[in-house]
Chain A
């Protein structure tokens, strides 16, 4: 028994505690829980906000994945909650590991903690991830996986597929590859993935996924960046993390997770989704100009795991409304577009808007130039940056209308080829981005 040990009852006055807490975004209660957890090998983050209806099976799959694939490792599940009023945190902290042990016939070698904390007054992905990152950092986790609470297709194997590349193969970021319906994730397929690929030179299919994993090293570096109050990072920290990995000296890979049938949280509201993804991507361009401006072409990253064969239910899309919103947007926002786009591009867009439904065609090259001109205008802040991002919404709808019409009967292979063509256009036209960026157009 060493002499240096001390004991004390908690005698810090509440007022002092409150003052101390003000200086940190982590609550005292979370700190107390982290002390009890102690150093861990793996953190599984579960950001939630009113997910009581879906979170139980997700949690059970996470627990089973840990027991099955990481029985010896010290693991903690950290729920960062945005102020749920439906009992989500209680469901998570109250879930018994015994149920999982019985259901999956798995025995827990060690204690598996599930802790919960509320990170702030308003729900947002940024503060949720920041809380998870800070917890993982304090607990010195080697790997951290984040799983969405509504991941209805999750199975226990996901945890292994996300964590193993980091824990055993020293990767720093694991992005998922989902099998999606051909018309699902169109913002990703038509804009974010091709542009990210062209800008940063790496083929990451899901740069802003709701399931991903990262190393303690990447997590710590990302946490230390002081941009957590920026709108882009508050809304879309996932893409910022991917960009940090791609622009830094970090090893990135992808892992097949299987079907992703849940709509992205972002897709319900297009403007919010654009802020979360495109806004974050645009805002990353300025500080990383020196990195991306010299990159040509793109490279594949290692992809782990078996690609599962799965036929997904067709997705219904209301195409007619897309075109209407595009046309009215081009008409109503003409003055805004005039400040963002070059006259040539704007004129071509107006031509497209004047076409009837049968003749409507928003060509890939025009779409790429549109996006690049928006990015350059965002850089120059010709108008409010948030307005720039919002103004992209009607044009995106027009592009999607055109894409759906052209690929109504396309097979998976044809869709893949079409996306590859679009990616090539983004890469080919990257010098155009540099031109408009530097103001020569």
Chain B
């Protein structure tokens, strides 16, 4: 299967997020690598995903799991070589899977040669590639993002005896995007990978590229101008490739990142994700409908990226204080589960390993407007280890089987990059791909089915949404519409069975066809359409007039 030529491929995509290190070790050193990933590419094809998103795999001191890049044009030796990457890319493309790689634009590692040169002397040619200052009093309006570890956005450099600017960890100095040389060099980096064949970039921490006094140094017009310029070059030289923005912002602040369809193709909808969890716990659709009502329209060529969990903590930056307290109390009873302003847990453990809730959340993920992203391991219900530091608890090795090192590596267990999950509930003996492949009722088999059903119609990727607001607030119902095709989605957020009356007058005469079993449901008439739903149940109906 070859890659189809479709400039809007990302709108219909189902993306799988994976870190090379976590997936499969091919050489027995305890660390996942590109040859290992290539060995497992058939698994991804069987799952039904259409794109893979690789977390940073570049040379790095790994003080922030690769988000501290020390060389933009190579592969970290633990993960293989550039040729290994190329082989993986070709293998994925052969199976119709596009590959999105991650670039950290805002900052580098302090070990990057650019920074080493920049700090070496105030006269160095690369001195102005980073943001230096004689004082740490500049840009006071900028918030500190990593509150748990950083006291300031400025760090003292004892070598050049001045302060450098960093929005994240102090070992991650920000690049100076006011310098045209930096902008050009970053474009050359992007070009390097695009020429190799990657299908898109997930650009990390994009709101922070430029700093200006008297502002919060986020979402500045100068930042937007730079991003627009990158997009212009991309479209000109590499049409059909995609840019995905990582900007943890409110929807209204995110909207400018789409521009007029001339900046990012896609952006993460960060505020929706915690509200899906909140709605589920409250058994109330309000948080979900409220945030989607506040979500502005985006250009037709653009798309939201939706996710339930990812490699970071479940971020609670985009919620009110009251909502954050509620989320902590509901999903992070133990302090060890909390990190920064978020919760560092995986999907299954957040949902108490309740299959019905896992399915419902995935059902919403796959049917709300946007492109869904599945975090590796969540398709089999992997658990986490909150006793590992930082966010490492949700980055443990993929659980392939109940055998040696879960089938991840042949190395001594002690030498794995991370301990395996081994408790009786989520451990690899209980939760693994091999055993789930053997049952058509496993979570993995169910995930394959829902991905297949989602991909059976373009309405989920490109259709409009209209909420129905039945009087029963525990039910979240909406229609997705594209051309003449209409899909009705009904989600019961409650742990109890519910009856709901839906106003489907405008669809009078249509038959409802349940999309998983293809069974007929009664025709829509004049009266409200009554559905009874089991706990956490959801329906996808295709409406058909016949």
B-binding residues in A (CB < 8 A)? 1-2, 4-11, 32-33, 35-39, 71-72, 74, 107-111, 113
User: A39 CA to B474 CA in the complex, in Å?
Assistant: 10
Most buried by B among A2, A5, A7, A33: A7
Q: Are B501 and A1 in contact, with the CB atoms below 8 A?
A: no
Which stretch of B162-170, B320-328, B429-437 is in the interface? B320-328
B355 to chain A, nearest CB (A): 11
Q: Which residues of B contact A11 (CB under 8 A)?
A: 527
Q: Are B286 and A110 in contact, with the CB atoms below 8 A?
A: yes
Interface residues of B in 303-338 (CB under 8 A from A): 320, 322-323, 326
Q: Are A108 and B286 in contact, with the CB atoms below 8 A?
A: yes
B38 within 8 A of A: no
Name the residue of chain A whose CB is nearest to the CB of B359. Answer: A1
Most buried by B among A72, A108, A111: A111
Which stretch of B88-96, B171-179, B372-380, B532-540 is in the interface? B532-540
Q: Are A10 and B494 in contact, with the CB atoms below 8 A?
A: no
Q: Are B530 and A72 in contact, with the CB atoms below 8 A?
A: no
Name the residue of chain A whose CB is nearest to the CB of B523. Answer: A9
Most buried by B among A2, A9, A35, A38: A9
- Given A10-B528, A109-B323, 8 additional A-B pairs, CB 8 A: A1-B514, A7-B532, A9-B530, A38-B283, A38-B472, A39-B496, A107-B322, A111-B284
Can you name 22 A-B pairs with beta carbons within 8 Å? Answer: A1-B516, A1-B517, A1-B534, A1-B539, A7-B522, A8-B530, A8-B532, A9-B522, A10-B528, A32-B471, A35-B472, A35-B499, A36-B470, A36-B500, A38-B474, A71-B322, A74-B283, A107-B322, A109-B326, A110-B284, A110-B473, A111-B473
The interface bits of chain B over 436-477 (1 if a CB of A lies within 8 angstroms of the residue's CB, else 0) are 000000000000000000000000000000000011111000
A-binding residues in B (CB < 8 A)? 278, 282-287, 320, 322-323, 326, 470-474, 494, 496, 498-501, 514, 516-517, 521-522, 525, 527-534, 537-539
A30 to chain B, nearest CB (A): 12
Q: Which residues of A contact B500 (CB under 8 A)?
A: 36
Q: Which residues of B contact A2 (CB under 8 A)?
A: 534, 537
B32 to chain A, nearest CB (A): 35
B477 to chain A, nearest CB (A): 13
Q: A35-B472, A39-B496 are in contact. Are A111 and B286 (CB under 8 A)?
A: yes
Q: Are A38 and B322 in contact, with the CB atoms below 8 A?
A: no
Q: Which residues of B contact A32 (CB under 8 A)?
A: 471, 501
Q: Are A9 and B529 in contact, with the CB atoms below 8 A?
A: yes
Q: Which residues of A contact B531 (CB under 8 A)?
A: 5, 7
Q: Which residues of A contact B516 (CB under 8 A)?
A: 1
Q: Which residues of B contact A71 (CB under 8 A)?
A: 322, 326
Q: Which residues of B contact A37 (CB under 8 A)?
A: 473
Chain A binding surface SS class: loop
User: A72 CA to B283 CA in the complex, in Å?
Assistant: 11
Among A5, A7, A8, A38, the residue within 8 A (CB) of B494 is: A38
Q: Are B530 and A7 in contact, with the CB atoms below 8 A?
A: yes
User: A352 CA to B375 CA in the complex, in Å?
Assistant: 90
User: A108 CA to B516 CA in the complex, in Å?
Assistant: 36
Q: Are A4 and B534 in contact, with the CB atoms below 8 A?
A: yes
Q: Are B286 and A10 in contact, with the CB atoms below 8 A?
A: no
Q: Are A109 and B474 in contact, with the CB atoms below 8 A?
A: no
Q: Which residues of A contact B284 (CB under 8 A)?
A: 110-111
Q: Which residues of B contact A74 (CB under 8 A)?
A: 283
User: A109 CA to B287 CA in the complex, in Å?
Assistant: 7
User: A38 CA to B528 CA in the complex, in Å?
Assistant: 19
Q: Which residues of A contact B534 (CB under 8 A)?
A: 1-2, 4-5
User: A69 CA to B533 CA in the complex, in Å?
Assistant: 32
Q: A109-B323, A111-B473 are in contact. Are A8 and B496 (CB under 8 A)?
A: no
User: A8 CA to B472 CA in the complex, in Å?
Assistant: 16
Q: Which residues of A contact B494 (CB under 8 A)?
A: 38
User: A72 CA to B281 CA in the complex, in Å?
Assistant: 10
Among A1, A5, A107, A113, the residue within 8 A (CB) of B473 is: A113
Q: Which residues of B contact A108 (CB under 8 A)?
A: 286
Of all A-B residue pairs in the complex, the 5 with the closest CB atoms, nearest first, are A36-B471, A111-B473, A110-B284, A36-B472, A2-B534
Q: Are A1 and B286 in contact, with the CB atoms below 8 A?
A: no
User: A32 CA to B471 CA in the complex, in Å?
Assistant: 9
Q: Which residues of B contact A9 (CB under 8 A)?
A: 522, 525, 527-530
User: A11 CA to B46 CA in the complex, in Å?
Assistant: 45
Q: Which residues of A contact B532 (CB under 8 A)?
A: 5-8
Among B473, B521, B527, B539, the residue within 8 A (CB) of A10 is: B527
Among A1, A4, A38, A109, the residue within 8 A (CB) of B496 is: A38
User: A32 CA to B278 CA in the complex, in Å?
Assistant: 26
User: A322 CA to B528 CA in the complex, in Å?
Assistant: 60
Among B323, B525, B529, B537, the residue within 8 A (CB) of A1 is: B537
User: A39 CA to B282 CA in the complex, in Å?
Assistant: 12
User: A221 CA to B126 CA in the complex, in Å?
Assistant: 81
Most buried by B among A33, A36, A107: A36
User: A7 CA to B504 CA in the complex, in Å?
Assistant: 14
Name the residue of chain A whose CB is nearest to the CB of B492. Answer: A5
A306 to chain B, nearest CB (A): 25
User: A104 CA to B534 CA in the complex, in Å?
Assistant: 38
User: A8 CA to B528 CA in the complex, in Å?
Assistant: 10
Q: Which residues of A contact B530 (CB under 8 A)?
A: 7-10
Q: Are B282 and A109 in contact, with the CB atoms below 8 A?
A: yes
User: A32 CA to B527 CA in the complex, in Å?
Assistant: 14
User: A37 CA to B326 CA in the complex, in Å?
Assistant: 21
Q: Which residues of B contact A113 (CB under 8 A)?
A: 473
User: A107 CA to B282 CA in the complex, in Å?
Assistant: 15
Among B285, B286, B521, the residue within 8 A (CB) of A7 is: B521
Q: Are A110 and B525 in contact, with the CB atoms below 8 A?
A: no
User: A113 CA to B284 CA in the complex, in Å?
Assistant: 11
Name the residue of chain B whose CB is nearest to the CB of A39. Answer: B496
Q: Are B537 and A110 in contact, with the CB atoms below 8 A?
A: no
Q: Are B538 and A110 in contact, with the CB atoms below 8 A?
A: no
B451 to chain A, nearest CB (A): 16
A316 to chain B, nearest CB (A): 47
User: A108 CA to B473 CA in the complex, in Å?
Assistant: 14
Q: A36-B473, A109-B323, A111-B286 are in contact. Are A8 and B537 (CB under 8 A)?
A: no
A104 to chain B, nearest CB (A): 13
Name the residue of chain B whose CB is nearest to the CB of A11. Answer: B527
User: A113 CA to B470 CA in the complex, in Å?
Assistant: 13
Q: A71-B322, A111-B284 are in contact. Are A5 and B471 (CB under 8 A)?
A: no
User: A111 CA to B285 CA in the complex, in Å?
Assistant: 8
Most buried by B among A1, A11, A35: A1
Name the residue of chain B whose CB is nearest to the CB of A33. Answer: B471
User: A71 CA to B326 CA in the complex, in Å?
Assistant: 10
User: A35 CA to B471 CA in the complex, in Å?
Assistant: 9
User: A37 CA to B500 CA in the complex, in Å?
Assistant: 11
A75 to chain B, nearest CB (A): 11
Among A1, A8, A109, the residue within 8 A (CB) of B522 is: A8
Q: Which residues of B contact A7 (CB under 8 A)?
A: 521-522, 529-532
Q: Which residues of B contact A38 (CB under 8 A)?
A: 283, 472-474, 494, 496, 498
B469 to chain A, nearest CB (A): 10
Q: Are B282 and A110 in contact, with the CB atoms below 8 A?
A: yes
User: A111 CA to B522 CA in the complex, in Å?
Assistant: 30
User: A35 CA to B473 CA in the complex, in Å?
Assistant: 10
Q: Are B326 and A72 in contact, with the CB atoms below 8 A?
A: yes
B363 to chain A, nearest CB (A): 9
Q: Which residues of A contact B514 (CB under 8 A)?
A: 1
Q: Which residues of B contact A33 (CB under 8 A)?
A: 471
Name the residue of chain B whose CB is nearest to the CB of A7. Answer: B531
B513 to chain A, nearest CB (A): 13
User: A72 CA to B286 CA in the complex, in Å?
Assistant: 13
A135 to chain B, nearest CB (A): 15
Q: Which residues of B contact A4 (CB under 8 A)?
A: 534
B78 to chain A, nearest CB (A): 43
B19 to chain A, nearest CB (A): 33
B68 to chain A, nearest CB (A): 38
B462 to chain A, nearest CB (A): 25
B396 to chain A, nearest CB (A): 31
